[in-house]
Structure 1
C-alpha cells in the first residue's frame, strides 16, 4: 500500500505547473568537433561560416552580434568577429531564440557596411552551421544567411509530456481502484465501524481541509522548483518582468498564512487567551521563523552570511500583520433602533482596541458542515434583527476593519514612495528595470533601482543574494529578490489573506463565501491588470517577482482567491477529492520546507550525472519531491505534527 502511495505521489507532481541546478544561459567556449554526449539539456552546437573575407578582401571582418530572446531591450553582444571561412563550434543555450545583427567591418578604416538582421531559434542537442555569405544579384551586392542542420534536433518537452500522460492515467485509475476496494469491503463489519468513526470525527472537526491542501500544494510546488523543476524554464523564476509557475508559490504561501491568522486568533480568543499571551506567541513564532531562515542561509562564513530570505519574509509579514490585527482599533457602527433587541456583544459598535470580539459571528464556532450550510439563507444575514442594515448584511467583513485597511494601504504606499522618490546614483528616479545590459546598457549598475540601494545600505553587498535569476541573462551583479522594500508588499498580500480568513469567520453559508472570494479575485486581478497595462514590460508597474511589485502582489492575491474558491468547492463542499497527498504537507509545512532545504543535496532527494538531461533531471526532482510527500504522509499516519 505504501509503495503504491509513494508511486502515485511521484506522478501527481506533474499536475503542477533552482536555483543551484538551473542551466546557465551563457555561450561557452569553442570546440573543434561537436560531441552531442558532452551537451547538457537546453544546449546546442553552432558554427558560423562565411565567404565574406574571400569575396571582398582579407582586410574585412564579419562582425556578428546577438541578443537573447529572453533579454528585453538589451544591447547587442558580440558573438564572434570572423576573418576566415568559419569558426569552431561553440555551445549555445537553446531555451529561447536569438536576434542577430551582422555587418562587415573594414579593418583599414574601421567602418561598417552591408548590414543583415535576422532571428533564429536553435533546438536542444542540435548541431548547426550558420552561413552568412555575400552575393551579387542584378548588380546588387547583399548579405544573406542560411542554416544547415547537421544533427537531429530533440524536443525537450517530450519527457514532461510523457510524465504528464502517466499522471493523467494515474489520476483516472487511482480513484477507480479506491472505489472498487471500498465497494468490495463495504459489507464487512470492520469497514462499517471505521466509516462510522470517520463520520463522527468529521463532524467534530472544524478545520478547513481546503486551506491545508492549498498550503501543501504551494509547498510542494516550491520544493519541486527549488530542486530544479526538471530544468524547464517555466519552472524557474522569471528573469525579470513576467510570471512563471515558480513565481506563484511564495506569495501564495504568504497569502495562506494571512488566511489562517484570523482563524487562529479567533480560536485563541475562544479559549480565553489574553492579548499579552497572543503577542508573546506572535513574537516567538516570528523569531523562530527568522532564525530558521538564517540557519538555512548557512552562515558558516560570517563575512558573507545572507540575512534576508524566504522564511525571514514569512516572519516579518506574520509579525506586522498580527500587530495590526491586535492593536489597530476597529470601527464599530451604532445600531439602528430596529436592532435594539440584538444581544450586548452585537451593540458594541464603538472605536476600541481589538479584543478579538471582532463581530458577533465570531462568537459562533466555525461550521464546516457544508451540507447544513447550504440550507442557510442566501442573503447570509450576520445579525438577527428584523431590519438589518446594509453594512450588517453585506460589509460586515470589511467595514469594521477600515482603519486596519488604511494602515495596510499606507504600507503599500511606502513601496511606491521608496521606489519612486529615493534617488539612486547613476539611475533615473523610479527605475524598475534589471540594469546590466538591459535598457540598451544605459543603467548597468541600477538593478532593481532603489530596492537594491536600500539593501546595500543596510546589509552591504556581502550579506545579500549574489546569484539572482537575472544575472546570466542581463549580466547583472548581486540583487536580493527577498529584499527590504519587498517586505512592504508581502505584508500587504498577507493582510489580503486576512480578508479571506475573515470571510470564513463571518459568513456562514458557502454561497456567501464563494461570491465574496470571487469578487475579491476579480478586483485584485483587475487592479493588477490596470497597473501593468496588460503588458509584460510596458505598463506603469510591471508584474515583477524580483521587486514584489504591487501589480505582482495583487495578481497573486487574485489567483489565490480563485484557487481557494476552487479547492473549497472540490474538497469541502462537493468532497470530490480528499486533498491527498498535498493535505499531509499542509499539516507540517515548515518541517517539510526546512527539511527539503537542508537535505536537498543528499540522495535520494536529488542525484545527478555529469551531463544532465531533462529526463534524468525531471526524474530526480520528482523522486525528491515524492520522498517529501511520503515523509509528510508518514508523519500524518504517526500523528506527528510539528508547530512553532
Structure 2
C-alpha cells in the first residue's frame, strides 16, 4: 500500500513540473543535467553535495527548499554536473541540521531527474524521511558522436590502405602505363620508374627514425585536438588535481621526445664535426626563441587588449619546453660521446653501458631531482603544512584553503609574483580555490627536465644498440617495467592515497615515471611497426611531426578564427563541436602534409 501511494506522489510530481522546466532542460550544455526536488516536509531543508572526484572535500550547498505540506509540495530545480558521481544528502534547515536521507548517483548528460522528499507512508516507519528518485526525461547518448567519428576515421583509413593496395595491382599498373603513353600531362602526376610509366622506384634507405617523427606527430595531433576543445568531452580536459585524463598525456610525450631528439641530433652533429661551442650557441639561441614566442605570442591574444606588465603571465608551455630543452641539451653537450664503443659481453658494464657511459649525467639529474624533492617536502610554507601536495580550497576538509600546490605554488608566487602566474587553475571549479597556481611553474619544470632525461635515455639506447633492434625493444620494455613499478610504489596504486600522487599540475615524480613508462611502451611499439617491420610509415602523424613548432604555434595563434572556430548553433549536442575540432585538427594535418610534399621543414 505504501509503495502504491509513493507512486502516486511521484506521478503527481511529474505532471506538476513537466511544463515549468521544459525551457530549462533545453538550455542545458555539455556535462549538465537538471535535478528537480520536491519537498513534502513541514520544515525547510537543505541539499548538500560532494563530488566523488573531490578528495576529502567539505559538502557544498546545492539547493534550499522552504516548508511544504503533504498535499502541496514545494519544488525547486538546479543544474548539476555529470562529470563525476555526486553524493547528495538532505539535512534539516530549521536549526537542527540533522541528516534526513542521502543518495549517490552518476547523473548522465541532459537528463532530467526528479527527487521526492517525503515522510514514510509505511506504518512501521512513521516519521522517517524518504528520498525517491525518478526520471522526467532520459539522458542523451553523449558518446554516440564520438563513436560515429571513430567509425568514419576508421573508414577513411581503410579506404586509404585499400587505394594503396589497388595501386599495386598489375592490372592497375597496366592501365596507368596506357594513360601515361597517351596523356603526357597525366604522367607528370604519377610516380613512375625511369621511363615515367613503370614500377615505382624504391625509396632510398634513410637512417632517420620514422617512429620518432610519428610519435612526435601523434602527440602534437592529439594536443591540437585537445586544445581546440576535444569535442566537449570532459576526459579530453585536464584532471582537476590528482589523476590522469587523455589531455594530461600529450605534453609529457612531447617532452619525452625532446630528450630522444637531442640524443640523436647532437650525436649526428658531433660526427659531422660541429664543435661543442657551436652546439652551445645553437641550443641557447633556440631556447631564447622558444621563450620569446611563448611569452609574447602565445600567452596573449587580441581579446586580452594591450599587453600590461601588471598582469602578464611569465610561465607557459613553450617556456617550459624551452627551459627543459636547454637543461637537457646543455647537459648532453657537456657529457655526450661521439664514439659509442661496445664493450665485450663478458665485461661487467656491458649490460648497462647505456648508463655507465653517461654516469656524469646521471649524477647531475639525480642531484636535480633531490633538490626538487627537498623543496617540495622540506620547504616551510607559511600557513601550510610542510610537504603539502593538495589543491587547498575545500579539499582536505577545508583545513588549508590557501595552500594550493604547497611549495610549488609558494615558490612561483615568491619568484614571479601572484599576478604573473596562471589565475584559473584546473582545481578552481571543483575545489573552490581562490589562489592562483601555474601548471607550468618553476618547481614542475625541474621534473619536466627529468622526463626529458628519460627520453634522452631512450635516444642513447637507440644509438648504442642500433644494430640490434631486438635489444632496443628489450631495453625499452625493461625501462617501462621499472618505471611502472616505481609509480605503483609512489602512488600505492591509488589516485589520492599514495606517497606522491600522479598530478599533472605539479608534474609530480609519480606523474613523470608513469608517463615515461607509457612513452617507452608507445615509442617501442612505433619503432617496431615503422622502423623494424616497415608495416607503417607513420602517415598522417609523421607530417606534423616534422613541422612540430610550426603546427603548434600556428594552431595556437589561429585557434579563435574561422574555420577553426565558429559560433555553435546546437550547444546541447557534441556533434557540431566535435566536427569543428576534428576539422581544425585535420586542416593542420593537411597543411603539414603540403609542407612535407614541398620538403619545407620549418625549424628554430
Give TM-score, length-normalised by structure 2: 0.88
Deviations 1:315-335 (A, max 9, x none): 11111112212235xxxxxxx
1:145 to 113, 131, 135: 131
Per the alignment, residue 357 of structure 1 pairs with: 338
Secondary structure (helix, strand or coil) at the match of 2:98 reads: strand
Secondary structure (helix, strand or coil) at the match of 2:88 reads: strand
Deviation larger for 145-154 or 429-438: 145-154
Is this contact kept in 1: 2:57–2:398, CA < 8 A?
yes
- Separation (CA, whole Å) in 2 of partners of 1:635 and 1:517: 32
Is this contact kept in 2: 1:51–1:132, CA < 8 A?
yes
Is this contact kept in 1: 2:405–2:437, CA < 8 A?
yes
- Separation (CA, whole Å) in 2 of partners of 1:556 and 1:123: 30
Displacement after TM superposition at 1:74 (Å): 0.9
- Separation (CA, whole Å) in 2 of partners of 1:198 and 1:633: 21
Is this contact kept in 2: 1:238–1:469, CA < 8 A?
yes
- Separation (CA, whole Å) in 2 of partners of 1:222 and 1:303: 30
Cα distance change, pair 196–547 in 1 and its aligned pair in 2 (3 A): farther
Structure 1 position 579 matched with structure 2 position 538: yes
Displacement after TM superposition at 1:277 (Å): 0.7
1:56-455 alignment runs, 5 A limit: 60-84=43-67, 85-106=73-94, 110-135=95-120, 137-138=123-124, 140-183=126-169, 184-187=171-174, 191-193=192-194, 198-201=201-204, 203=205, 205-294=206-295, 295-298=297-300, 300-328=307-335, 354=336, 356-360=337-341, 382-383=342-343, 389-391=347-349, 393-455=350-412
- Separation (CA, whole Å) in 2 of partners of 1:116 and 1:79: 15
Per the alignment, residue 609 of structure 1 pairs with: 568
Is this contact kept in 1: 2:89–2:99, CA < 8 A?
no
Per the alignment, residue 595 of structure 2 pairs with: 635
Secondary structure (helix, strand or coil) at the match of 1:47 reads: strand
Deviations 1:145-183 (A, max 9, x none): 112211232111111011112223333332122211232
Secondary structure (helix, strand or coil) at the match of 1:397 reads: helix
Per the alignment, residue 374 of structure 1 pairs with: none
- Separation (CA, whole Å) in 2 of partners of 1:546 and 1:442: 21
- Separation (CA, whole Å) in 1 of partners of 2:223 and 2:403: 29
- Separation (CA, whole Å) in 1 of partners of 2:265 and 2:93: 70
- Separation (CA, whole Å) in 1 of partners of 2:311 and 2:199: 58
Is this contact kept in 2: 1:127–1:150, CA < 8 A?
yes
Is this contact kept in 1: 2:38–2:76, CA < 8 A?
no
Displacement after TM superposition at 1:462 (Å): 1.0
Displacement after TM superposition at 1:611 (Å): 5.2
Per the alignment, residue 36 of structure 2 pairs with: 47
Per the alignment, residue 499 of structure 1 pairs with: 457
Cα distance change, pair 51–272 in 1 and its aligned pair in 2 (3 A): same
Per the alignment, residue 476 of structure 1 pairs with: 433
- Separation (CA, whole Å) in 1 of partners of 2:382 and 2:75: 42
- Separation (CA, whole Å) in 2 of partners of 1:168 and 1:457: 50
Displacement after TM superposition at 1:81 (Å): 2.2
Cα distance change, pair 135–114 in 1 and its aligned pair in 2 (3 A): farther
- Separation (CA, whole Å) in 2 of partners of 1:597 and 1:114: 50
Deviation larger for 476-485 or 121-130: 121-130
Is this contact kept in 1: 2:65–2:76, CA < 8 A?
no
Displacement after TM superposition at 1:358 (Å): 4.8
- Separation (CA, whole Å) in 2 of partners of 1:186 and 1:611: 48
Cα distance change, pair 33–197 in 1 and its aligned pair in 2 (3 A): closer
- Separation (CA, whole Å) in 2 of partners of 1:504 and 1:390: 21
- Separation (CA, whole Å) in 2 of partners of 1:636 and 1:213: 13
Query: What is the root-mean-square deviation in Å for CA atoms of aligned residues?
Result: 1.9
Secondary structure (helix, strand or coil) at the match of 1:538 reads: coil
Per the alignment, residue 180 of structure 2 pairs with: none
Secondary structure (helix, strand or coil) at the match of 2:318 reads: helix
- Separation (CA, whole Å) in 1 of partners of 2:28 and 2:124: 44
Displacement after TM superposition at 1:398 (Å): 1.1
- Separation (CA, whole Å) in 1 of partners of 2:137 and 2:536: 47
Is this contact kept in 1: 2:294–2:316, CA < 8 A?
yes
Q: Can you give the 5+ residue segments of structure 2 that lack an aligned partner in the other structure?
A: 1-18, 68-72, 178-190, 301-305
Secondary structure (helix, strand or coil) at the match of 1:138 reads: helix
Is this contact kept in 1: 2:271–2:338, CA < 8 A?
no
Per the alignment, residue 545 of structure 1 pairs with: 504
* Structure ranking higher on relative contact order (CA contacts 8 Å, 6+ apart): 1
Is this contact kept in 1: 2:46–2:63, CA < 8 A?
yes
- Separation (CA, whole Å) in 2 of partners of 1:284 and 1:198: 40
Secondary structure (helix, strand or coil) at the match of 1:129 reads: strand
